[in-house]
Structure 1
């Protein structure tokens, strides 16, 4: 409905009658209600061209500041205050997002969340899918940005069976080869070996419907891959092109919205090649600025949709406004 002067005056004229019907005493609440203490499922829909995208919040992680390379508490406080954020018990609270794309012909899921692998504040992507009215069996393709457990954990259930029973799994060949290399596994510190086991356990049920991606290629109708190495060897972004619109799903190019746009050279302990990670980040943010790209990522503040702008030698993030109609 479009509000105009006539509608406004008609509504105003009705106010005295409404007041007569509902006296002031009837408007007073007399009972308290218990607090819910938890969020509702994180689900948000928006459109990109002819495609409908559903952002799905798997939950959140508190990333300890000791894991951030280059961290400066004063600089961090200034940057986070600009984003209406603050640390929580010496940690930066970040989301874990996944994205469902409905082109009308196919359902494509980008990253699958954590399931039970990373604690009680995560594992809600499946509930988000259910709230969106989508069954796991409806998914045609899962595009995996990389094989860390907060992206691949939701591929399997508690018994290790494939959750998306009809879906093809697409992941970069460089990523697959790294996590499945027994020589690399044998050579890493014992504390890092569980990451290899989780990567294998969550993806191996899809071996018989696996697409290994090399370079820039069409990976599903409307989607092309974009190598974004550094965070992991085969870390990959996916570009959705629909109608005259595009959206870049850039995985873990950014982990901390409140910090890494302002300090793009800050990396985290889980970046396997920190120098390459920072280089890839600056390259992608420069491209996002130059092309006025709409971007989203697994750890950008939910629903994780917006644009990148230059801010001196650094950058700033502009969240997209709520899309009221689809």
Structure 2
């Protein structure tokens, strides 16, 4: 049986900067070279920094849906039906003497619109050497390739790197490369290359563990076999860093039952997404969505028989 999504307490967002940044979310403005948005979380704080955005054909996201279905869903929101340009929002969590970065972005070798984490960290006054922990939701290129610089040297050389044992084992398995579709074999090669470079600094965890104080791993399997989201504790109310369990501000919420082409296990991805949205809507919990419009901070509410995302 899959682990039940934990209950999340009701929360209050405390952020002046986040409100201003949220006003830009979905505005159609291009992502700048460096952006950062901060909110308080009790004695801790959370800061979202941008790695830019991706550009993906809609067929990659919804390979099983007709153009008419997609247009019917997206046109009322003024969104194109031929491609998506998801933001890449990385979360920094300051708690005690730890500065935790969730995921590491794309680096310079994935898409030209991404790989901006370095400039965003600089704009936020953060040097890579300040990061004490890098915690991965999963090992897709836009989440892990950024651990290496242009010279294939580790960017976060002072940090402990954390990844779920199931995720590590999947990308390392002997048959993963041969079973991966041709267009995604580079994902496997890239993940293994990064694993080799950071292996000496890697520690493993499983769902339910707390790899870093105040950071609880939540099982959100489906997008990849070891995908996890993270509940951040530090004040009276937690915030969930979703990773790619939720990826689109309309599709994921209005049609969570639609299978997503980027999910490794499409059926399980839909089951996980629905369970997660149910819990988030019930508890009116705050989330940070990696691919939601920058800065990805908001809440979930039920809307008819589905859901909608409410930016902070």
Whether these two folds match at TM > 0.5 is yes
The corresponding residue for 1:26 is none
The corresponding residue for 1:198 is 190
Distance 1:79 1:93 in 2: 17
The corresponding residue for 1:60 is 53
Distance 1:286 1:72 in 2: 27
Distance 2:177 2:64 in 1: 28
The corresponding residue for 1:96 is 88
**299-308 vs 58-67, which moves further:** 58-67
Distance 1:198 1:314 in 2: 36
From 272, 275, 281, the counterpart of 1:280? 272
Distance 1:185 1:72 in 2: 30
Distance 2:116 2:65 in 1: 30
From 219, 240, 250, the counterpart of 1:227? 219
**Aligned pairs for 1:109-258 within 5 A:** 109-258=101-250
Could you give the per-residue CA deviations for residues 168-219 of structure 1, whole angstroms, max 9, x where no partner exists? 1111101000101123323434443211110111232221121111221111
Q: Quick check: 2:207–2:228 contact (8 Å CA) kept in 1?
A: no
Q: Quick check: 1:87–1:93 contact (8 Å CA) kept in 2?
A: no
Distance 2:76 2:268 in 1: 27
* 1:47 partnered with 2:40: yes
Distance 2:182 2:66 in 1: 30
Q: Quick check: 1:117–1:149 contact (8 Å CA) kept in 2?
A: no
Distance 1:229 1:288 in 2: 17
Query: TM-score under structure 1 normalisation?
Result: 0.82
Structure 2 segments unaligned to the other structure (5+ residues): 1-29
Distance 2:243 2:181 in 1: 26
The corresponding residue for 2:3 is none
How well do the aligned residues superpose, as a CA RMSD in angstroms?
A: 1.9
**145-154 vs 93-102, which moves further:** 93-102
Q: Paired residues, what number?
A: 283
**Aligned pairs for 1:69-108 within 5 A:** 69-83=63-77, 85-87=78-80, 90-108=82-100
Q: Give the CA deviation at 1:297.
A: 1.7
SS in structure 2 opposite 1:151? helix
- Decide whether aligned partners of structure 1 residues 288 and 159 sit closer, same or farther in structure 2, where only a CA change above 3 A counts: same
Distance 2:105 2:182 in 1: 25
The corresponding residue for 2:286 is 294
Distance 1:239 1:82 in 2: 33
Structure 1 segments unaligned to the other structure (5+ residues): 1-36, 321-326
Could you give the per-residue CA deviations for residues 214-264 of structure 1, whole angstroms, max 9, x where no partner exists? 221111011110111111000000100112020001100122112221111
- Decide whether aligned partners of structure 1 residues 183 and 40 sit closer, same or farther in structure 2, where only a CA change above 3 A counts: closer
Q: Give the CA deviation at 1:53.
A: 1.3
SS in structure 2 opposite 1:279? helix
Distance 2:130 2:169 in 1: 28
Q: Quick check: 2:33–2:52 contact (8 Å CA) kept in 1?
A: no
Distance 2:300 2:68 in 1: 24
